[in-house]
A and B are shown apart, each in its own frame.
Chain A
Amino acid sequence: MPRYAMVIDTRKCTGCQSCTVACRVHNKLPVDMIYNPVTTHGPVGKFPHVRMTHIPSLCMHCDVSPCVDACPTGASQQREDGIVWVEAEKCVGCKACVMACPYGARVSNHEEGTVQKCNFCKDDRVDQGKLPWCVQTCHQKARVFGDIEDENSEVFKLVNGSKNVGRLLEELGTEPFVYYLY
């Protein structure tokens, strides 16, 4: 069984937000829904000695996923391959998961009355052997997707082969499966 993960290389990301648009357009999300914001940290420091980092995000597909635990209907689920997803038919829009997620990864669909989130593009892309939209669209190849159980995968090599690797809000114990290179 694979365990899907994403590695985001902040040294490459330029904050172009193409991944945000790709996700929204191809997943046919309402215009005000964003699964994968790209934030800008900085410039910090004082001119001209400044730094700036862009931080793309998405659902972290946490191993210890508070959103799944919080969901009263069972709509929020985690597949064996680690993909956390929402079964739209079951969701009542209580937002318990929205509140439970520390990463702001869940968004309300005001048209449907449900809550949605990144599902690693499981239906149209990953299960079809294709890359998630946000990964394919990135000119900078700042997002890498793959099976982290597979020692030959790029994600495995990047996570295990670099010193500068970390995860967001690791201290909360959610065991995110999105890694950041910095």
Chain B
Amino acid sequence: MSTKIDLEQEGVEVRKSVCYFCHQNCGCLVYVKDGKIIHFEGDLDYPTNSGGLCCRGNVNLIHLDHEARVNFPLKRKGERGAGEWERITWEQAIDEIGAKLEEIREKHGAEAVATAGGTSRTDDWARRRFMNLYGSPNGFHNSHLCWIPTFMIETAIYGWSPFEIDLGLSKCIVLWGQNPAISTLPEQAGISALKKNGLKVIVIDPRFTETAAKADLWIPVKPGTDLALALAWINTIIYEGLADYEFVYEHCVGFDELTEHIEQYTPEWAEPITGVSADLIREGARMYATSKPGNIQWGVAIDQIGKPAGAAMHARAILRAITGNLDCPGADLLTGPSQEFITDEEMELNDMLPEEQRKKQLGSDKYKLVTWPGYGRIAEITKKYWGKAPTAEWMCEAHPPSVYNAILTGDPYPVKALLVSATNPINSYGESKKVLAALEAVDFLVTCDYWLTPTAMLSDYVLPMAGSFERPTITSTYGCSDFLMCSQRAIQPMYERKTDFEFWRDLGIRLGQKEYWPWETLEDAYFDRIKDLGYGVENYDEFVEYFRFHFPEREYYKYKERGGFATPSGKVEIYSSVLEELGYPPLPSYIPPAENPIDHPELAKEYPLVLTTGAGIMPFHHSEHFNIKELRFLRHEPHMEINPETAEEYGIKDGDWVWIETKRGRIKQKAHVTEGIAPGVVFTERGWWYPERDLRAPELGGCLESNTNVLTSTADEHCDPISGTWANRGLLCKVYKADGSDGKEAN
């Protein structure tokens, strides 16, 4: 079937745009005529994807004008969740929302307004800028689950997070709870291309993933026990004399304390906890420590193991330090923030948030690292060293479960309004039933999204957002990288969609922040950020047209020129003074997962299986794209994974609908019986809801039926005391066949 389009015809303009269905931002060339897109494809010259587009990238045009998109500002008419909407103008929407926020600030204080975000998908500095000017410290994302605790622990220990890897010369990469073959496809391409150079790949994952299938070593750790594994690796490296002593003695503090502290954590000790044999633990440790230079890539699994998360990140950071795999060619780089362009943090106006408001940040009394106490301290240190601080939006957030609790209980103070942008909290935050209750309970709910998600359905206002090709994009790793990749808007937003930037700006202006929002368009704002880079361009579009990227010269061993690392002591703080200052253990000690059979034998009687919830799956992005038939067709039902031995024990056959139940509730997924997971361990897919069903309350698109976050725990005692991240991985569950009435197909 020919679909030939004449791209050479007159009036066709090629726009350098990106896909934004995940934060990989793959480069695209978009062919536009008379303001309409006639064709697009992956950009062969774009350095990360070189023409590649994943499943989602290919449906950009279907997404762009899908019938189910929200195209106009909607105001609720009937009951909450009744699905009756009135189309209003943007002016009316902004005016009414603004009025409501003013009223709340007067009656309850600015902190009674919170905003929820999700994965990095839009210009979050604008949201933070708005919140700072408005006066509320209660912005949050589920960033706790997604690298942010890792970033902050690592920054505390050696002054920045080495998310940029220098793979070209690397001899070993450890993919710790990461599945780039499915989650970050361009990265996987880089890894597999380098295998012929002798790059060794170690995958630490309870599941035999697509990535593990190609690895040199697969370490099937029991969910939630990564800390034990990391400690045993440190033990092996130190006690087998594999550490980089020169680096350790010259550039680190606390190695001797560590040596003593780590003695107890032998591979033999870790074996029963992790389910990994002591031999395999040693083999992995040796491979990493001796194949130098090497990298440990960040995966989000450890961010999500709850209680032991912070200590596990600390231990993982120590592994880099004691092997000297920091900031040298072929190892994990500490780029620091950009010295050249204006960073996200500088766009946020964090100084505008008064000290007394910072103190009110929900959860900051308990979880200090990614809230004002820890962020403030770390920002101070990095500013002194780098001149700049990490992005506050992401790195300094209200603790989400604490916000939902405050909505439900009014404790420690009432939260009256929630502005939701670029997230679907019912599906992605922990303990979905609680989240749902909070969304139902909150006085005022506004959602900015592409679709009527279950969350949007409960809202008072839903605002139509501009997507991938309808807005320009700057890609810079949550605003923390030293490089920029810039892309153009291909077309002006269709219908009455706007960018998030415009939403926050309009709302800000309505609330008297006019002087702080000088830019008319997002391009103007972006241009401000890059204009001093010295490319001699007149505007942002021109920069993209001619340069598109800014990659600074790579510098190694920055600590040598700069007189150390961005820490209080100027050294890599294995023994962390920042953590100590905040009241946390300065060295990582073993903390078991929130729920586990060793410490909770009673619980394990009822819930005998170890559970890990979620991981990226193709073709979906979290709870997105379930309504796009072209994608859904490839995976139309949710699947949980279970070992044949365990399945047999519970009378479960491949393809059966089963219930997976924890103390917090149960969900239904189909069984995928596989040898790719250990006996006794269960994995559930994340994101699932059924947009084809009735979207009105109480059905809400079946958003609890197969939603793995019904199972997770956000209880204070299950959260990581350092960062507050909650427990998605390493829980206890039971599994049983769904029978008769409830066994019918989920759709």
> Contact at B3–A27, with CB atoms within 8 Å?
yes
Q: Does B218 contact A (CB under 8 A)?
A: yes
Residues of chain B within 8 A of A137, CB atoms compared: 42, 51-54, 57-58
User: Contacting B675 at CB < 8 Å: which of A21, A47, A139?
Assistant: A47
| Complex CA distance for A137 and B185, rounded to whole angstroms | 11
- A16-B185, A18-B57, A139-B52 known; A25+B208 contact, CB < 8 A: no
Closest residue on chain A to residue B276 by CB atoms: A48
Mark the stretch among A51-59, A95-103, A148-156 that contacts chain B.
A51-59
The verdict on B41 contacting chain A, using a C-beta distance below 8 Å, is yes
Segment 606-648 of B: residues with Cβ below 8 Å from A: 618-619, 629-631, 633-634, 643
Evaluate contact between A47 and B677: CB separation under 8 angstroms. yes
Chain A residues lying within 8 Å of B218, measured Cβ to Cβ, are: 48
Which of chain A's residues have a CB closer than 8 A to the CB of B99? none
Residue B188, interface by CB 8 Å: yes
Is there an interface contact between A140 and B630, defined as CB atoms closer than 8 Å? no
Interface string of A107-142 (1 = CB under 8 A from B): 000000000100000011000000100001111110
**Contact segment of B209-217, B590-598, B695-703:** B209-217
- Decide if B568 is an interface residue (CB 8 Å cutoff): no
Interface flags for B30-59 (1: CB within 8 Å of A; 0: not) read 000000000001101000011111110111
Q: How far is the CB of A123 from chain B (nearest CB, A)?
A: 4
Q: Is the beta-carbon distance between B192 and A136 smaller than 8 angstroms?
A: no
Q: Which residues of B contact A138 (CB under 8 A)?
A: 52
Determine the residue in chain A with the shortest Cβ distance to B59: A25
B634 touches A139 (CB 8 A): no
Task: List residues of chain B with CB within 8 A of the CB of A27.
Answer: 1, 3
Contact (Cβ within 8 A) A25 B42: no
Whether B3 contacts A43 by the Cβ 8 Å rule is no
The answer to whether A18 touches B54, judged by C-beta atoms less than 8 angstroms apart, is yes
Contact (Cβ within 8 A) A50 B208: yes
Asked if A78 CB lies within 8 Å of chain B CBs, one says no
Q: How far is the CA of A12 from the CA of B194 in the complex (A)?
A: 11
Per the CB 8 Å criterion, the residue count for chain B at the interface is 49
User: Does A20 sit at the interface, judged by CB under 8 A?
Assistant: yes
In the complex, which residues of chain A have a beta carbon less than 8 angstroms from the beta carbon of B677?
47
A44 to B51, CA, bound (A): 33
B633 near A31 (CB under 8 angstroms)? yes
**What is the distance, in angstroms, from B620's C-beta to the closest C-beta of chain A?**
11
Contact of A43 among B41, B44, B674 (CB under 8 A): B674
Report the bound CA distance from A26 to B61 in whole Å.
Answer: 10
Chain B residues near A53 (CB-CB < 8 A): 213
B182 in the interface (beta carbon within 8 A): yes
Chain B residues within an 8 Å CB radius of A116: 1
Chain A residue at minimum C-beta to C-beta distance from B207:
A43
Chain A 10-32, CB-CB to B under 8 Å as 1, else 0, gives 01101111101110111111011
Interface residues of B in 240-274 (CB under 8 A from A): none
A79 CB to nearest B CB, Å: 15
- How far does the alpha carbon of A56 sit from the alpha carbon of B179 in the complex, in Å? 20
Asked if A45 is an interface residue, CB under 8 A from chain B, the answer is yes
Q: Nearest-CB distance from B62 to chain A (Å)?
A: 7
Known A-B contacts A18-B57, A47-B676; A54 and B210 likewise in contact (beta carbons under 8 Å) = yes
Which residues, 125 to 182 on A, are CB-close (under 8 Å) to B? 131, 136-141
From residue 44 to 99 of chain B, which have CB atoms closer than 8 A to chain A? 44, 49-55, 57-59, 61-62
Hey, which chain B residues are within 8 Å of A54, CB to CB?
Answer: 210
- B58 pairs with A22, CB closer than 8 A: yes
- The answer to whether A21 and B676 touch across the interface, beta carbons within 8 angstroms, is no
- Find chain A residues with CB under 8 A from B50 CB: 141
Query: Contacting A140 at CB < 8 Å: which of B2, B4, B185, B618?
Result: B185
Bound state CA distance, A173 and B638, in angstroms? 40
Which of A22, A29, A48, A124 touches B220 (beta carbons < 8 Å)?
A48
Quick one: given A14-B181, A17-B618, A139-B188, are A43 and B208 in contact (CB under 8 Å)?
A: yes
Residues from chain B with Cβ under 8 Å of A51 in the complex: 213
> Does B678 interact with chain A (Cβ within 8 Å)?
yes
Residues of chain B with a CB closer than 8 A to A12's CB:
189, 192
The reply to whether A21 and B2 form a contact with Cβ atoms under 8 Å apart is no
With A14-B182, A48-B678, A116-B1 already in contact, the answer to whether A25 and B58 are too (CB < 8 A) is: yes
Q: Given A16-B618, A137-B42, is A25 in contact with B62 using a C-beta cutoff of 8 Å?
A: yes
Q: Which of B4, B44, B51, B634 contacts A21 (CB 8 A)?
A: B634
Contact partner, A17, options B44, B62, B619, B674, Cβ 8 Å: B619
The residues of B that contact A48 with a CB separation of less than 8 Å are 208, 218, 220, 678
Per the bound structure, the CA–CA distance linking A24 and B58 in Å amounts to: 9
Would you call A88 an interface residue if the criterion is a C-beta within 8 Å of the partner chain's C-beta atoms?
A: yes
Are A14 and B674 touching (Cβ within 8 A)?
no
Contact of B665 with A by CB under 8 A: no
Q: Is the CB of B192 within 8 A of A11?
A: yes
**8 A Cβ contacts from B630-674 to A:** 630-631, 633-634, 643, 674
B31 to chain A, nearest CB (A): 13
A47 vs B645: C-alpha distance when bound (angstroms)? 10
With a cutoff of 8 Å between Cβ atoms, the chain B residues found around residue A88 in the complex are: 1
0 or 1 for each of B511-539: is its CB under 8 Å from A? (1 = yes): 00000000000000000000000000000
* B51 cross-chain contacts in A, Cβ below 8 A: 131, 136-137
Given A52-B210, A139-B185, 20 other A-B contacts at CB below 8 A?
Answer: A11-B214, A16-B55, A16-B182, A17-B55, A22-B58, A24-B630, A25-B59, A31-B629, A43-B213, A43-B676, A47-B220, A51-B213, A116-B1, A124-B2, A136-B52, A137-B42, A139-B49, A139-B188, A140-B52, A140-B192
Question: Which residues of A does B touch, CB under 8 Å?
Answer: 11-12, 14-18, 20-22, 24-29, 31-32, 42-48, 50-54, 88, 116, 123-124, 131, 136-141
